[in-house]
Each structure stands twice: as structure tokens, then as C-alpha cells.
């Protein structure tokens, strides 16, 4: 779990864990053994306030659920929630720039799901219905337009990427 790794690597860190469901928050609470360094918040990151003054915002495999028109407003809110010098790091589902490569990546994913005993085609249809991944260039543009600087892709593998940006220090 990412929160455990952060708490271990950064012994003075304080975390705010934000999720849409009480079930996820309760699962985190049970795994993290009631650490006083953690605040829990149930809410919808599309609409609810998630606070401000953060040094780092981490979003892991969640922002692809935002419809493309929702993203600019979210990224502006994320930018404002960071302290000067703060850093946004987002692990995302993305799509490749090439439709041919994109289809090959989806085929590899379907095969992987089948190998896990799942219905790869059903998961793919669910993904098409509820997810809104975009190309890395689109993410970079949206983050830049929201005010982030030094925006770029830190890591990419198939249809997953880690993209980040900074709020300039004052």
C-alpha cells in the first residue's frame, strides 16, 4: 500500500487519505493501525474540497475516471490545493498516440485479464463505459494550462504512466 510506504520512508509525513467510498477508507484504517499521522476523508474529488497547503498530492489510478471536460477544473483545484513548491504526482491509465499501438495494448490487457481468470472482454467493455483515459500530451497540456510547471511523464509502461507537475515556489 502506498500510504504504508510513504509513512515508512518519510517518518515526519502526515497524510490525508481521500476516497469516494467508506469501504476503502475503512480498509485503509484497518491496514494502517490507527496512525495519528493520517487523516481520513470520504468524498468525491470531482466536487468536494480536499484541503490546501499540501506539499505533495498523489493520485493513483483514479483521475482517468474524470470525463475529459471535467479535468481542467479538477487540475486547477489540485494546483490551488498545493503549497508553493508543491508537487502533483499522478499514476494514470493513458491511451497511446497511435490507434494501432493503442489497440495492441488493449489486446495485451484483455489477455492478461483472461490469464487471471477474468473475462477480458467484459473488463474491456466496462473500461470503455466508465473510463476516460487520454494521451500523455493531453495530460501535459491540461496540467500546464492549470498552472503547473515542469510538467512531464516520469514513467510509462503500455497504457500506464506517471505524470507530474509543480506549483512554483513563491
CB count within 10 Å of CB 47 equals 10
Contact 45, 73 (CB under 8 A): no
Q: What is the pLDDT of residue 33?
A: 75
Taking residues 2-12, report their average pLDDT.
Answer: 91
CB count within 10 Å of CB 98 equals 11
Q: What is the pLDDT of residue 81?
A: 97
Q: What is the pLDDT of residue 2?
A: 86
Strand pairing category for 15-19 and 38-42: parallel
Q: Where are the beta strands (DSSP E) in 27-125?
A: 38-42, 54-60, 82-93
Taking residues 82-101, report their average pLDDT.
Answer: 97
Give pLDDT tens digits for 105-143. 999 999 999 999 999 999 999 999 999 999 999 999 999
Q: Options 3.90.320.10, 3.40.50.150, 3.40.50.300, 3.40.190.10; which CATH number does 2-95+132-166 get?
A: 3.40.50.150
Q: Where are the beta strands (DSSP E) in the chain?
A: 15-19, 38-42, 54-60, 82-93, 149-157, 160-166
Predicted TM-score (pTM) of this structure? 0.91
Phi, psi torsion values for 135, nearest 5 degrees? -70, 155
Give pLDDT tens digits for 15-57. 999 999 999 999 988 888 778 899 999 999 888 988 999 999 9
Q: What is the pLDDT of residue 129?
A: 94
Phi, psi torsion values for 93, nearest 5 degrees? -85, 125
Amino acid at each position: 500500500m502506498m500510504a504504508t510506504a510513504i509513512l515508512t520512508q518519510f517518518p515526519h509525513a502526515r497524510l490525508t487519505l481521500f476516497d469516494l467510498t467508506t469501504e476503502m477508507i475503512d480498509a485503509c484504517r484497518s491496514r494502517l493501525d490507527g496512525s495519528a499521522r493520517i487523516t481520513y476523508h470520504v468524498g468525491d474529488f470531482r466536487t468536494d474540497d480536499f484541503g490546501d497547503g499540501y506539499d505533495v498530492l498523489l493520485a493513483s489510478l483514479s483521475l482517468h475516471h474524470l470525463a475529459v471536460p471535467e479535468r481542467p477544473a479538477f487540475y486547477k483545484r489540485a494546483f490551488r490545493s498545493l503549497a508553493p513548491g508543491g508537487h502533483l504526482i499522478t499514476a494514470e491509465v493513458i491511451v497511446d498516440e497511435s490507434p494501432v499501438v493503442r489497440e495492441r495494448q488493449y489486446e495485451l490487457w484483455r489477455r492478461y485479464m483472461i490469464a487471471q481468470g477474468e473475462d477480458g472482454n467484459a473488463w474491456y467493455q466496462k473500461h470503455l463505459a466508465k473510463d476516460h483515459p487520454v494521451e500523455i500530451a493531453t495530460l501535459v497540456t491540461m496540467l500546464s494550462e492549470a498552472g503547473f510547471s515542469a510538467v512531464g511523464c516520469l514513467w510509462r509502461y503500455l497504457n500506464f504512466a506517471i505524470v507530474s507537475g509543480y506549483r512554483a515556489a513563491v
